[in-house]
């Protein structure tokens, strides 16, 4: 595996510990973020109106199987043979028309709100301090509001927005917005209390509450449905749901009674007609007997009488069915009753016709419910009417087929009767005529008695009509608000308080293209890191001396040890100091590295080879009137003439750059540079070259043949990550000998070693020890 591949594999691994430590340096931002988030949640909870969940459950009855003793007793009646579809009942419960009726019965034409400084809450029930008696409500008043500012329980000021429109006494009749009403106050209404009164649009309010309703089946195996809604006023929500169930059951009973009422009306009309026909037949019998005075039929005619009577009963039954079908056909074909419930089949023994009429009546009921909330010309109503027309056609077709079958049966019964009559021709014609008249009388009497019995059954079923549903659980509100939930919000606040600072720091790091930590250097190049230097906040360029125990001085001593170890016993006398650009601390590092070497008894000289921007001599308060430039362009300047010594550290020799030449690049190529370095190597243990930044000019590369090692300065929060490619290229191409990186300007928030406290801790330790020794000496002197 190559070095590059090894480095890439290291880069792919994630240092979780390092990542955590990196962001823990900004712990104060996370604490501040959590505090601010908690404060926002606290204010939100203080001024947000809580919302509660109100729920109830009902059982939708399947009336095809019956739900109680009354329906079981009348189970044979067609009035109860309907089936409620759960999906249809759900739509009815959520209909705006039903909700509009609910709100009207609850008298929700006005709403009251307590006007506070920061929030407004709705008042309801026992909390209401005011009552409004409406005498006349004009449509222009709908949606308008005003504020009642109570004074002393007897008088109040009336405001429209912030504008006062008058003062009035409670109980005084007012005319406003085209409506007249009276405001009445409770005796304990607080002084200076502000109550907002709003006249509601019942239609819009019904849409609002219908949208809030949530109706669902508890499970697929039962017909129990849960009705729930979320509301800020639990008592109001409970009243709405309970009244909704009440009105829903009442409308279901009304729909059923409407079908029964139509049936009774139909039977009454038939009974009147049959009464007249029966009277006419009885008069015929009486008249016939009075004129002919018939005798008893001979005994030998008994068999004839029994057989004929049996066929006569069957003939009567067919006549009754024909009359019922004729009446239903006439009723359903009438344009005046096309959108009314059809009377039941009254015992016509055909399941198909019964099911069709039941579906027709159920669809009629749904159409009536739709008309409470939508206009007659809406697509929903038109679709229902189209289905009704299709059902009407099917019903008429079924009646036609049934009538043909019944006529065929009647023909057979009549043929049998005629056959027996022909066999008994010897009966006197007088008795035979009387039997025919009696047979007609029996048919009329049977139909009359049948319809009379059905009317009584209909009246009984109307008296015991049951509702569509049964309440399983009345509406109740949750004990605690479902929103806002403090525990959840505080958890979100904690997450946000930590996430927002983290995101900000992460974004800052993403947008910051400078080197932030040593890992950035390790990811970008294989060049070894020699060490790091702490941030210098003293203002002095030379921080290393015999007495110094500062963090920077200790880190320079540590770096000196690393540097000597890195030499590996080889000659390492000429050291080049360079960087990517100006301002990264080359001169600062050169002087202090030299000073740390001087502390070990070594003879060290620093050369200012930055001929373009000389800073070396200025940093130690030395003149720069003569230096390397003079030596390179003149044969009369000797090396001894160039050497100066630092005022604060006389053992440290310095040669400045001298005057800035017009052609520094050409001067750097002169052979005299080699002569200069060779002569200095004879008299000094270390030669440190403070060169120009290699990322801006190529001057430093001209010194490559004369050096033993090179140190590349990278400054935290200053050197661009892209510039690390320069040192990586130098390392791979070996343009400089033994290149190593030194990280400058390390602080607690960007240096692992520094944050662990190595240099900082030892520096503080020595400072504290010095103070302690001085204190003890002063005590001994005293």
In a domain, 740, yes or no: yes
The CATH number of the domain holding residue 672 is: 3.40.50.300
pLDDT attached to residue 762: 43
Specify whether 488 is located in the same domain as 545: no
pLDDT attached to residue 776: 36
Q: Report yes or no: 728 and 596 within 8 Å, Cβ to Cβ.
A: no
- Name the percent of the chain lying above pLDDT 90: 17
pLDDT attached to residue 570: 78
pLDDT attached to residue 489: 92
Tell me: pLDDT of 402 over 60: yes
The predicted-structure confidence for 611-653, as pLDDT tens digits, reads as follows: 888 888 888 889 988 999 999 888 888 888 899 998 888 899 9
Specify whether 342 is located in the same domain as 200: no
Specify whether 526 is located in the same domain as 453: no
Specify whether 243 is located in the same domain as 372: no
Q: Which of 300-314, 692-706, 708-722 has the highest mean pLDDT?
A: 708-722
- 293 — alpha (psi -120 to 50), left (phi > 0) or beta? left
Residue among 114, 196, 190, 119 nearest 162 (CA): 196
Beta bridge partners, 60, equal 469
Region 104-120 average pLDDT: 86
566-582 burial code (b ≥16 CB/10 A, e <16): eeeeeebbbbbbbbbbe
CA dist 250 and 435 (Å) reads 53
Burial zone of 101 (CB within 10 Å; 0-12 exposed, 13-18 middle, 19+ buried): buried
Band (pLDDT 50/70/90 cuts) for residue 23 is confident
Residue among 289, 288, 748 nearest 532 (CA): 748
Beta bridge partners, 504, equal none
Number of independent structural domains in the chain: 4
CA dist 589 and 586 (Å) reads 5
In a domain, 475, yes or no: no
pLDDT attached to residue 644: 92
Region 763-782 average pLDDT: 40
- pLDDT higher for 606 or 181? 606
CA dist 357 and 253 (Å) reads 18
Beta bridge partners, 181, equal 134, 174
**Could you give the 3-state DSSP secondary structure of residue 540?**
coil
Beta bridge partners, 175, equal 180
In a domain, 489, yes or no: yes
* Mean pLDDT score of the chain: 78
Element (H, E) at 150: strand 145-150
Band (pLDDT 50/70/90 cuts) for residue 743 is very high
Cα 152 to Cα 129, 168, 569, 669: the distances in Å are 13, 12, 101, 102
Specify whether 97 is located in the same domain as 222: yes
Phi, psi of 747 (to 5 degrees): -130, 175
CA dist 678 and 384 (Å) reads 110
Element (H, E) at 576: strand 574-579
Number of Cβ within 10 Å of residue 595's Cβ equals: 25
CA dist 129 and 122 (Å) reads 12
Beta bridge partners, 224, equal 59
pLDDT attached to residue 76: 40
Specify whether 17 is located in the same domain as 58: no
Tokens of 475: 């509406």
SS3 content of the chain, % helix, strand, coil (to 5): 55, 15, 30
In a domain, 3, yes or no: no
Domain that holds residue 214: 52-249
Specify whether 44 is located in the same domain as 100: no
pLDDT attached to residue 38: 94
- pLDDT higher for 76 or 284? 284
In a domain, 8, yes or no: no
CA dist 748 and 736 (Å) reads 32
Specify whether 222 is located in the same domain as 273: no
Region 553-581 average pLDDT: 84
Beta bridge partners, 229, equal 54
Tell me: pLDDT of 383 over 60: yes
Specify whether 600 is located in the same domain as 489: no
Tell me: pLDDT of 655 over 90: yes
pTM for the whole structure: 0.58
Specify whether 269 is located in the same domain as 244: no
Of 63-67, 97-101, 413-417, 722-726, give the lowest mean pLDDT range.
63-67
Specify whether 184 is located in the same domain as 229: yes
Specify whether 566 is located in the same domain as 674: yes
Tokens of 773: 């020794």
HSE, CB side, 13 Å, CA atoms: give it for residue 753.
Answer: 21
- pLDDT higher for 643 or 562? 643
Tell me: pLDDT of 61 over 80: no
In a domain, 419, yes or no: yes
Region 682-686 average pLDDT: 92
Residue among 776, 628, 780 nearest 691 (CA): 628
CA dist 466 and 471 (Å) reads 13
CA dist 400 and 397 (Å) reads 5
In a domain, 737, yes or no: yes
Would you say how long the chain is, in residues? 782
The predicted-structure confidence for 365-376, as pLDDT tens digits, reads as follows: 777 777 766 677
In a domain, 476, yes or no: no
Q: Report yes or no: 34 and 497 within 8 Å, Cβ to Cβ.
A: yes
End-to-end CA distance of the chain: 71
Q: Report yes or no: 560 and 600 within 8 Å, Cβ to Cβ.
A: yes
Band (pLDDT 50/70/90 cuts) for residue 773 is very low
């Amino acid at each position: 595996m190559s070095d590059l591949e090894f480095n890439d594999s290291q880069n792919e691994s994630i240092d979780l510990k390092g990542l955590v430590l990196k962001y823990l340096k900004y712990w104060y931002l996370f604490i501040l973020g959590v505090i601010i988030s908690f404060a926002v949640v606290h204010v939100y909870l203080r001024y947000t109106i809580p919302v509660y969940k109100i729920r109830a459950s009902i059982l939708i009855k399947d009336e095809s199987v019956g739900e109680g003793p009354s329906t079981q007793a009348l189970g044979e009646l067609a009035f109860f043979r309907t089936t409620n579809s759960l999906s249809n009942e759900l739509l009815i419960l959520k209909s705006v028309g039903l909700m509009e009726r609910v709100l009207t019965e609850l008298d929700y034409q006005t709403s009251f709100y307590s006007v506070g400084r920061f929030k407004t809450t709705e008042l309801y029930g026992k909390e209401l301090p005011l009552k409004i008696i409406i005498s006349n409500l004009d449509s222009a008043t709908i949606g308008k509001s005003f504020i009642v500012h109570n004074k002393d329980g007897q008088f109040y000021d009336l405001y429209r927005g912030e504008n006062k429109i008058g003062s009035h006494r409670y109980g005084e009749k007012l005319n406003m917005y085209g409506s007249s009403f009276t405001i009445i106050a409770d005796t304990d209404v607080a002084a200076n209390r502000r109550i907002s009164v709003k006249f509601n649009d019942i239609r819009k309010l019904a849409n609002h509450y219908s949208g809030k309703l949530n109706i669902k089946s508890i499970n697929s195996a039962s017909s129990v449905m849960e009705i729930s809604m979320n509301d800020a006023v639990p008592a109001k929500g409970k009243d709405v749901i309970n009244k909704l169930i009440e009105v829903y059951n009442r409308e279901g009973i009304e729909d059923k009674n409407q079908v029964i009422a139509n049936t009774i009306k139909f039977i009454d009309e038939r009974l009147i007609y049959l009464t007249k026909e029966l009277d006419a037949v009885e008069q015929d019998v009486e008249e016939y007997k009075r004129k002919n005075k018939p005798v008893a039929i001979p005994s030998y005619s008994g068999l004839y009488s029994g057989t004929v009577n049996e066929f006569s009963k069957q003939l009567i039954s067919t006549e009754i069915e024909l009359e019922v079908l004729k009446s239903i056909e006439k009723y359903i074909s009438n344009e005046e009753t096309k959108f009314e419930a059809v009377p039941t089949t009254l015992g016509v023994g055909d399941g198909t016709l019964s099911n069709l009429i039941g579906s027709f009546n159920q669809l009629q009921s749904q159409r009536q419910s739709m008309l409470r909330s939508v206009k007659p010309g809406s697509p929903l109503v038109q679709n229902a009417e189209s289905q009704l027309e299709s059902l009407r056609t099917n019903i008429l077709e079924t009646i036609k087929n049934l009538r043909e079958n019944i006529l065929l049966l009647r023909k057979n019964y009549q043929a049998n009767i005629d056959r027996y009559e022909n066999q008994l021709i010897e009966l006197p014609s007088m008795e035979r005529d009387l039997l025919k008249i009696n047979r007609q009388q029996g048919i009329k009497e049977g139909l009359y008695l049948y319809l009379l019995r059905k009317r009584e059954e209909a009246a009984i079923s109307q008296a015991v009509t049951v509702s569509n549903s049964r309440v399983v659980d009345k509406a109740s509100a949750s004990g605690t608000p479902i929103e806002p939930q403090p525990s959840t919000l505080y958890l979100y606040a904690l997450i946000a308080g930590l996430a927002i600072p983290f995101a900000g720091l992460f974004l800052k790091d993403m947008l910051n293209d400078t080197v932030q930590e040593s890992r950035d250097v390790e990811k970008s190049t294989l060049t070894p890191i020699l060490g790091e230097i702490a941030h210098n906040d003293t203002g002095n360029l030379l921080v290393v001396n015999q007495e110094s125990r500062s963090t920077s001085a200790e880190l320079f001593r540590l770096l000196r040890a690393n540097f000597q170890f890195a030499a590996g016993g080889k000659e390492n006398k000429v050291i080049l100091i360079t960087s990517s650009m100006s301002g990264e601390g080359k001169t600062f590092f050169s002087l202090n590295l030299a000073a740390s070497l001087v502390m070990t008894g070594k003879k060290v000289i620093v050369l200012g080879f930055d001929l373009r921007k000389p800073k070396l001599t200025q940093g130690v308060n030395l003149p720069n009137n003569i230096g390397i430039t003079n030596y390179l362009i003149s044969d009369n300047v000797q090396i001894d003439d160039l050497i100066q010594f630092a005022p604060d550290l006389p053992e440290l020799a310095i040669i400045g750059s001298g005057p800035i030449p017009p052609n520094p690049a050409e001067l750097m190529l002169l052979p005299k540079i080699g002569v200069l370095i060779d002569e200095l190597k004879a008299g000094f243990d270390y030669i440190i070259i403070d060169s120009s930044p290699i990322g801006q000019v190529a001057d430093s590369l001209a010194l490559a043949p004369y050096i033993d090692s090179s140190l590349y300065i990278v400054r935290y929060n200053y050197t661009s990550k892209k510039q690390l490619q320069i040192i990586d290229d130098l390392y791979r191409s070996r343009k400089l000998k033994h290149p190593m990186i030194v990280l400058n300007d390390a602080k607690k928030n960007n240096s692992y070693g520094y944050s662990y406290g190595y240099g900082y801790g030892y520096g503080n330790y020595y400072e504290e020890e010095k103070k302690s020794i001085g204190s003890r000496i002063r005590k001994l002197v005293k």
